[in-house]
Structure 1
Amino acid sequence: MLTVNPLEVEGMHFTAVTVELPKTNLLVISNEVGYIMCGALDVDLLSEDLADRKIIAGRAKGVKTIEQLLHAPLEKITDASKGYGWQAGMTGKDALLKIA
């Protein structure tokens, strides 16, 4: 099943996507600037192989819901995200507010 919902974080608007897969969920919260995602995100691919695209993205591991993704620390971020003040260890919510 695929679920797409609007998500408001401190008055800022994002899109929350949940893809229910066998034995796991794929979770993404995004806006037009960037996104955060569950552990399925290959940050190294984005930072190395697709570096020229300057993708703003971060990964949180061990999350099972959109709510958990908002409050989990980002385990890894793309190099381009650092330009927006993102740091590994910050919560997904804090990262999203920096690109709102």
Structure 2
Amino acid sequence: MIDLSPINIAGHTFLAVTVLLPKTTLLAVTSDKGYIMCGALDVALLNEKLKDRKVIAGRAVGVRTIEQLLNAPLESVTYEAEELGIHKGMIGKDALLKMI
């Protein structure tokens, strides 16, 4: 099952994506500029092999719901996210607000 839901954070609308897979769930919340995602996101791949794409993204691990993703500290972020002031340890929803 795939669920796409708009969510509101501080008056801004983001899109929450939940993909139920066998034995795991993929979670992401996106803005027009970037996104945060569960541990399935490979930040090293984005920073190294896909660096020319300039992806703005952050990764939180150990989350099982969108609410947890929004409130979890980011475990890693892309170089482009750092350029926007997003850093490791920042809470997911705070990072999203820097992506508007």
The answer to whether residue 19 in structure 2 is matched with residue 28 in structure 1 is: no
Aligned mates of 1:97, 1:32 — CA distance in 2: 11
1:46 aligns with 46
What TM-score, normalized by structure 2, do the two folds share?
0.98
Q: CA deviation at 1:83?
A: 1.0
- Deviations, residues 66-87 of structure 1 (Å, cap 9, x unaligned): 0000000000000110111001
Partner amino acid, structure 1, of 2:99: I
Q: CA deviation at 1:99?
A: 1.1
**1:59-70 paired onto structure 2 within 5 Å:** 59-70=59-70
Identity over aligned residues, as a percent? Answer: 59
Aligned mates of 1:99, 1:4 — CA distance in 2: 19
2:95 aligns with 95
Aligned mates of 1:56, 1:98 — CA distance in 2: 10
1:18 aligns with 18
Aligned mates of 1:94, 1:45 — CA distance in 2: 23
Aligned mates of 2:49, 2:9 — CA distance in 1: 31
- Deviations, residues 12-62 of structure 1 (Å, cap 9, x unaligned): 110000000111100000011000000000000000000011100000000
Give the gaps of 5 or more residues in structure 2: none
Cα root mean square deviation, aligned: 0.5
